[in-house]
Chains A and B, each alone.
Chain A
Amino acid sequence: MAASSTKDIKIRIKSVQSTMQITKAMELVASSKLRRAKERAEATRPYFTTLHQTLSDIAYSNTEFFSPFVQKREVKKVCCVIIAGDRGLAGGYNSNLFKAVAGAMEGKTLCALPIGKKAVEYCVHRGIEMVNDRYTSVEDLTLRDCFSIARLLCDQFRQGAFDELHVGYTNFVSMLSQQPAVLKLLPIHYDRKEAKNRAESLLEYEPSSQAVYDAIVPEYVGGLLWGAVAESLASELGARRTAMDAASKNAGEMIDDLSLKYNRARQGAITQEITEIVAGAEA
């Protein structure tokens, strides 16, 4: 009995050790990738804020035209770009995002453009209509992909395929905290107060305000998507690093616990053997 239980414990320890090796390796990979992703997310921020500020200024000082991109419509159908991860093992990263998206989109007719394998799986599982499911890898998504997605969605928006465009992504707050968020991209909403004092004078457009707007809006959506992808990727890696760190710690604790049990069982087996020998000698 004692011999078999020490053997069982030994096998358990081995298996926990090999799991720990994997979680350790994943943690290391995630933290090295995280540094790059964080730099990228930080590098995109000035582009995004400048882009947003400029568009607010234009919209504020604009009085002469009516663009379909700013006009509010009756909301019959909503499109949401869902940016999730390529794989799990990142704590609640994917499920938190899906919960946030489901919460924000409740009661609306939804179509989605999933980015990342998990997002595609989610849409298939839930039976959500997909604009397309080509973007199965967040990590390999390029700036050009973002712009072609933006052009596609802007075209569909203009044709009236949907009346609102949202993006569901995860904000990289810090290494330890990631916040899922849903942001409305189209129709563009401007905070009038924000743009005040900046653009009091009339702007000149070339070749025409309409043409400028039509060229800029897809650019704006693409830039925004790119920023959201960068934030999400950093968040995913951050979440994975934290999850894997916790898993490695748990595995370490388990190994300690099991080693103690193993030593006790071994000690017990030796004591028993000695007692048996002594008893045998006495008899």
Chain B
Amino acid sequence: MTTFHLQIVTPDGGFYDGDAEKLIVRALGGDVCILPRHAPYVTALGTGQATVVIDGQRRTAACAGGMLAVTKDDVRLVATTFEWAEDIDKNRAQRAKEEAERRIQSAKDGAELEMAKAKLSRALARIKAAG
């Protein structure tokens, strides 16, 4: 099967650098799937689940913020946070979700509400990715 060169980097370090067959991420407007020989393309990322197919193996991850850039030669996923499903601490994500829900209830202004909502969506993405 044809592959493309995929690079995933986060502020905590490089996550993946190698060939992949397929990449699905949540962009601002919804899920986007990248296959080999995609046209040059740029989008900003939302918060959600990401799926990478490497050598026929599906790997899922939670991914939030950043951008996706497809150029002629390679695909770069520059994420703010990126965690493979097996690295996610499900209990922690659950606690974060409850905490975020509490904050949404008690938010006093718009900014606080936005922050709490972002936190909740991150927690939900983690829980979903962890399965």
Report A's interface with B, CB cutoff 8 A: 43-44, 46-47, 50-51, 53-54, 57-58, 61, 143, 147, 198-199, 201-207, 211-212, 215-216, 219, 222-223, 226-227
Contact = CB atoms under 8 A, between A and B. Distances in A.
Interface residues of B, number: 27
B40 A212 contact: no
Per CB-CB distance, the 4 closest pairs between chain A and chain B, nearest first, are A215-B44, A43-B13, A47-B9, A54-B69
Interface of B: 7, 9-14, 27-29, 32, 39-44, 65-67, 69, 71-73, 76, 78, 80
A46 B39 CA distance: 24
19 contacts: A43-B12, A43-B14, A44-B11, A44-B12, A46-B13, A47-B11, A50-B7, A53-B76, A54-B76, A54-B78, A57-B71, A58-B42, A58-B69, A203-B40, A212-B28, A219-B44, A219-B67, A223-B80, A227-B11
B40 A202 contact: yes
Given A143-B12, A202-B40, A211-B44, 13 more contacts: A47-B11, A53-B76, A58-B42, A147-B80, A198-B71, A203-B40, A206-B29, A207-B29, A212-B44, A219-B44, A219-B66, A219-B67, A223-B80
Nearest to B79: A47
B71 A50 contact: no
A222 B29 CA distance: 22
Nearest to B13: A43
A211 B71 CA distance: 19
Nearest to B66: A219
Nearest to A146: B11
Given A204-B42, A206-B27, A206-B43, A57 B69 contact: yes
Contacts of A207: 28-29, 43
Contacts of B29: 206-207
